[in-house]
Amino acid sequence: MSWSTDNRFAYNLFSEKHKVIVILLMVCFAVLSMRLFYMQIIKGNYYRNISEHQRINTTHERAFRGLIYDTNGKVIVNNIPNYVALFYPFEQQYEPTEESIEKLSKILQKDIKSSIEKSWRYGRVMKLADNLTIDEVFKIQENKLFLPGITVVEEPKRVCSSPIENAHVIGYVNELRAEELDNMENTELKVGDIIGRCGIEQSYDKYLRGKDGGLSFEVNARGQHQKTFDYEPPAIGNSLYLTIDNDLQKIAYNALRNSSSGKGAAVAIDVKTGAIKAFVSCPSYDLNKISSAKDYKRYLKNKKLPFFNRCIQALYPPGSTFKIVTFVAALEHLHFNPYKVEDCLGKFELGDRVYSCSSKAGHRKLNLISAMAYSCNVYFYILGLDLGVRVIVDYAKKFRLGEKTGIDIYSEKAGFVPTPEWKKSKMKVPWLKGDTVILSIGQGALWVTPLQMASLMATVANNGVSYKPYFVEEIKDSVTKETVFKHTPVKNEDLELDPNTWKQLHKALESAVDYGTAKRTKFKHISVAAKTGTAENPQGEDHAWVVAYAPADNPQIALAVIVENGGFGGSVSVPVAREIFKKYFNIYEEPEEELNGGTNDTH
């Protein structure tokens, strides 16, 4: 029936409903347009990335990390080939077949199913097993027909020549995990890349890491090879030339391991530059055996904490080695007469408390020089009370205790120098005179690292001039041998003292070797200056310290040695220091000088 002949009312009803339908249509198409805008404009880059990713397949060739040399040009970290079984997805097959997994498990004599489930990603190369032996490699090649898509490739593996001694300097490497990548700003890295975990490998990772190469090619939806884009050969990372001496490392490590407790640390620094010559923490772990999770767990469970880098992470009270600071403060602040004589009766009374000396019988009459040589506590208690806590703290800070040395590896501890304010806020009790007394001999809440003490000793040896300690002398391009980076010594702020103060201090430290507590570092042709220390340890045996530098007349090297729970500094740490000096100055077969008396306690 025609609209015109029908009544107007019916047409109006129709056109109202027509309007609803037009609006409905507009809404639907607006939604579709917005969806299109969202997908192509807002999320365009996201989808473009996915489309590129599924189109381009790459074979991955891992780059070699740069080599690491010691100060004598000897290679201490190298790469060796490691055979890895990989699965390449190919046409119509995105994952290895059940039979091939079974076959491979049989050859390797371990179940690889779980690792496959973990690493499976749509159409990507996946690692089935690594660290294959040559035997296994041959067996896989023989059974190639039954292992479709599985190939063996060579990947570099890191090896260290003295893996235990150098562990804490070099540090280990392993694969980057997905959850770590989420917290990283550096987007160049990808899951599975090898990165340094501690030590030099970590702090110089970007130099050592090479550039991975490989073949990139286009694949279609069925994984068929369409065309090759390019082949980029992997590029080896830069080589590092370190300041440490591998032989000295071995000597120092053995000396520490053979000491009474077998736990401790030794740091030797070149006083003229801050170059670290020896840096060992004992016990240590084997860098070459850290790749398997089993070994890693074994080390973690070890009560002696082999992963703990005692040179920079362990905090010890400095004990009597701190007397150097008290000594300097007295001469500088009080213009103290070093020849002033005190009578040590073996104990010191303050109020109702008694502070003992290292020698129970007492050292009797001493001046400042001989008090330092014999490490008399009573003499320093008196000095400490005269100085007051603020002056001692002031001088400790001038020697840069309580601050990081700024060495070029991570996780260094700053240590701590206590102040009356700190004690008030933390312990809710005021600073007492007794606190000053024990602070003057390096006890109390005073915490230092062996590296800080070695650095302090280098400052003393150099009359207040000191340099930031460092490991890496030079970085070179591995291929062109061009220098990428060359270290220039970084001077710390000079510690300016009266020349006479330095003279007296050197004399006192030489006396300690000459007739005092550090006699066992005495050599015929080289004079050594040293200070021992026995740090009281409320948890157990005392820690044995020695800090030293040599030659006394023209210092080259300063060192700090601590034997944890070792007992007396003079008899436990000093032999370690002696071994290091012997090696450093190439002194062969020189017997230790006869000990005169030797009944003195060595503090």
Partner 1 sequence: MTHTKSLFSKIIQNIDLTFYISIAYLLFIGITAIYSASSNLENPTKYITTQFIALSIGAVGMLFLAGFSYQYYKHFSKFVYILSCILLVSVLIFGTQHKGTKGWFDLPFFSFQPVEITKIMLILSLAAYIDKHWNEISKLSIFVKTLCLTLGHFVLIMLQPDFSSTLSYFPITLILLYVAGARLTHLCAVVLYGALAVLIPLLVTFFKLQPELLESNKLVNFFVTASTNWHKAIIILGVIILIMILIKWFLNKLRIPIGWAYPIIFLSIILAGSFSSIVVNKSLKEYQRKRLIVFLKPEIDSRGAGYNIIQSKIAIGSGKFSGKKFFKGTQTQLGFLPEQRTDFIFSVIGEEGGYVLAQLTILFYFLFIWRALVVAKHARDRFGSLVAMGIATMFAFYAIINLGMVMGLMPVTGLPLLLLSYGGSSMLSSMFAIGILISIHIRRFY
Which parts of this chain interact with partner 1 (CB under 8 A)?
Answer: 1-4, 6, 10, 13-15, 17-18, 21-22, 25-26, 28-29, 31-33, 35-37, 39-41, 43-48, 50-52, 54-55, 122, 218-222, 226
Between 145 and 221, whose beta carbon lies closer to partner 1?
Answer: 221
Return the DSSP state at 65. Answer: P
- Closest Cα to residue 557, out of 259, 325, 243? 243
φ, ψ of residue 8 to 5 degrees: the values are -60, -35
Structure tokens belonging to residue 239 = 């080589």
φ, ψ of residue 350 to 5 degrees: the values are -135, 115
Residue 103 C-beta: closest distance to partner 1, Å: 25
- Closest Cα to residue 252, out of 356, 196, 193, 168? 168
Between 1 and 354, whose beta carbon lies closer to partner 1?
Answer: 1
The amino acid at 389: V
Between 19 and 297, whose beta carbon lies closer to partner 1?
Answer: 19
Structure tokens belonging to residue 217 = 């090619």
Residue 1 C-beta: closest distance to partner 1, Å: 6
- In angstroms, rounded to a whole number, what is the distance separating the alpha carbons of residues 131 and 431? 60
Count CB atoms within 10 A of the CB of residue 551: 17
β-strand pairing of 213-219 with 483-486: unpaired
Residue 9 C-beta: closest distance to partner 1, Å: 11
Between 52 and 594, whose beta carbon lies closer to partner 1?
Answer: 52
Between 222 and 525, whose beta carbon lies closer to partner 1?
Answer: 222
Between 26 and 184, whose beta carbon lies closer to partner 1?
Answer: 26
Residue 35 C-beta: closest distance to partner 1, Å: 5
Between 52 and 188, whose beta carbon lies closer to partner 1?
Answer: 52
Structure tokens belonging to residue 488 = 């220039």
Return the DSSP state at 258. Answer: T
Return the DSSP state at 76. Answer: E
Between 37 and 339, whose beta carbon lies closer to partner 1?
Answer: 37
Residue 124 C-beta: closest distance to partner 1, Å: 14
Residue 126 C-beta: closest distance to partner 1, Å: 16
Residue 226 C-beta: closest distance to partner 1, Å: 7
Contact residues for 92 (Cβ-Cβ < 8 A; gap 6+): 222, 223
The DSSP result for 269-303, as a single string, is EETTT-BEEEEEEES---GGG-SSHHHHHHHHH-T
Burial class (CB in 10 A: 0-12, 13-18, 19+), 17: exposed
Residue 17 C-beta: closest distance to partner 1, Å: 5
The amino acid at 30: A
